Structure 1
């Protein structure tokens, strides 16, 4: 997912050494909301792949 977004929004294959990510800011309220998703409560194995 991260590589897809890096390609789409920054025209690069991937975020080498996290350079793009390190420039961002964390929105705590949005992060808190995302972390409530059921995905995080499912036992492994799990994937975020396109399948």
Structure 2
């Protein structure tokens, strides 16, 4: 029940903001492609911009 309630309460809420410069490695800029809540926490998948 806590997982479901937490999901509903946090839907659409910004908990953390990452600046674009923080997602740049060398000349490659990355963007968050997928975010998934798991039993271990939040998993963010990054992909390079084309």
* TM-score normalised by length of structure 1: 0.20
* Structure showing the higher helix proportion among its residues: 1
Provide TM-score, normalisation by structure 2.
Answer: 0.20
